[in-house]
Amino acid sequence: MPERVLLARHAQAEWNVEGRLHGQRDSPLTREGIAQAARLADSLAPYGVSMVFSSPLGRALRTAVIIAERLGTEIVEMPELAELDLGDMAGMTRPEIEQAFPGAREERAENRYGWAFPGGESYAQARGRARAALSACGWEADGLPLIVSHEMIGRMLRAELRGLNPAETLELRHPLGTAFDINGRAEHMV
């Protein structure tokens, strides 16, 4: 596992604006999202990124391509960096989920870390994918790697890098089109 990583969340996509949960489904970046990715690339330029690792999902991969082109680095797609699988809830808004899955919100609140989305996965299950992705990044990157992924799997990546417990992990937030410089237990927004 790399000791130091830059971790970016993809830029704004259409479903982010509509309030739809993506999971492993996709929607394209908005105009603002494309601009966010370009600004993020500019802010990452001084860091000397050696390689960009990206989720294969379109919104993350498009963000990664914009960044990699500006930084002149190679991109490696990693399936393990895909967002949590939200199963049957993917593509829905919160009100649609309330209607289609009555009581699911309360059920999830009881064990948010271990609760699996219907037909999908839990945070606990996704943490293994995060660990595998970080291990691969550590072996493949010479220098400082940039990982471009998503908010939910990003929580698991940060938890693995920083040694956080489930409660600390679920408190983490990562705004669209931003990156963290993570070095050991410390992190700061770029």
Say how far apart CA 40 and CA 56 lie, in whole Å. 19
Percent residues over pLDDT 70 in the chain? 98
Q: What does the pLDDT read at residue 1?
A: 73
The pLDDT of 123-148, averaged and rounded, is: 88
The pLDDT of 69-88, averaged and rounded, is: 97
Domain residue ranges of the chain, discontinuous segments joined by +: 4-189
110 noted as active-site residue = no
More confident residue, 137 or 118: 118
User: Quick one: pLDDT band at residue 142, thresholds 50, 70, 90?
Assistant: confident
The pLDDT of 151-156, averaged and rounded, is: 98
Say how far apart CA 90 and CA 117 lie, in whole Å. 9
The pLDDT of 62-81, averaged and rounded, is: 97
83 noted as active-site residue = yes
Contacts of 57 (CB under 8 A, 6+ apart): 10, 22, 24, 26, 82, 83, 150
Q: Is the pLDDT of residue 81 over 80?
A: yes
Q: What does the pLDDT read at residue 139?
A: 64
Looking at the chain, list the stretches that DSSP marks H as alpha helix, in order from N- to C-terminal side. 14-18, 31-44, 58-71, 94-100, 104-110, 123-140, 151-162, 166-170
User: Quick one: pLDDT band at residue 141, thresholds 50, 70, 90?
Assistant: low
pLDDT digits (tens, 9 = 90+) for 101-117: 999 989 999 999 999 99
The pLDDT of 18-46, averaged and rounded, is: 98
Q: What does the pLDDT read at residue 43?
A: 98
Q: Is the pLDDT of residue 124 over 70?
A: yes
Q: Which CATH architecture fits 4-189? A: 3-Layer(aba) Sandwich (3.40)
What mean pLDDT, rounded, does the chain reach? 95
Q: What does the pLDDT read at residue 3?
A: 80
Catalytic pick among 22, 80, 83, 150: 83
Q: What does the pLDDT read at residue 122?
A: 98
